[in-house]
Amino acid sequence: MSAKRNAIIRTISEPYVLITDDDVALNGQEDLDKMRAVLDARPDVGLCAAMVQRENGGGAFASEAYVRGLRFERVGKLLKRVPMPARYEKALLGDDEDVLYVVADQVPNCFLARREVFDSVMWDTRIKIEYEHRDFFLALQKDGKWKAAVAVEAEATHFRSEPDLEYERCRRSYSSAYFKGKWGIDQLIDQF
């Protein structure tokens, strides 16, 4: 997944790129417009995500806390991912309509990004799946040039099917040793 994303990014010259998983779709153009409004309002924000909900009103993907964005907390060799507090900022969408957003260290995997973000940060091709998203956002934070945000009124839907058992076995069996070694982490804790 990481190598394919990098290959696609290298061929794109448009100023904005929508990154999402193949089972996630924005609910409409207005959601894309809300993410773009945040990017237009904040030149230091390099990418803006939508809130990802499960199909058929199944609630938030992972949790409400996750889809609003996460903050990284490092304590020695421990990395915690904790929910961002609900401190919303506003961006102007047009016609005096505001878009609420929150700046975060990691956002859901349905985001609109400035193409130039990828001049600084790409996906690590040694990480195939499971940790590639976490790794990308740790690299974005380390680079320090760009911030990430979530437009909390932009929505996308996660169309999840029954998992293929072979896929799940391969996904879950991938070793986290490289990822942990790269970032000097002994333990990962999710608090959401």
Structure tokens at 183: 């970032």
pLDDT-based confidence at residue 58 (cuts at 50, 70, 90): low
pLDDT digits (tens, 9 = 90+) for 76-109: 999 999 988 777 778 777 666 788 899 999 999 8
pLDDT of residue 41: 92
The mean-pLDDT minimum among 45-49, 70-74, 155-159 falls in 155-159
pLDDT of residue 59: 53
CA distance 129 to 138: 15
How many domains does the chain fold into? 1
Structure tokens at 160: 């999840």
The mean-pLDDT minimum among 47-51, 83-87, 150-154, 163-167 falls in 163-167
Domain ranges, residue 80: 2-190
Q: Which residues, at least 6 apart from 110, have a Cβ–Cβ distance to it below 8 Å?
A: 19, 20, 21, 24, 26, 49, 50, 52, 156
Got the DSSP string for 37-71?
HHHHH-TTEEEEEEEEEEGGG--BSS-HHHHT-EE
Average pLDDT over residues 169-177: 69
- Residue 192 pLDDT greater than 80, yes or no: no
Find how far residue 71's CA is from the centre of its chain: 12
CA distance 79 to 185: 7
Q: Tell me whether residue 77 is exposed, middle or buried, using C-beta atoms within 10 angstroms of its C-beta: 0 to 12, 13 to 18, 19 or more.
A: exposed
- The CATH number that applies at residue 127 is 3.90.550.60
Structure tokens at 146: 């760009």
pTM strictly above 0.85: yes
pLDDT-based confidence at residue 24 (cuts at 50, 70, 90): confident
Helix intervals (H) in the chain: 2-11, 29-41, 64-67, 132-143, 165-173, 177-183
- Residue 62 pLDDT greater than 60, yes or no: no
> Which 3 state secondary structure label does DSSP give 146?
coil
> Which 3 state secondary structure label does DSSP give 145?
coil
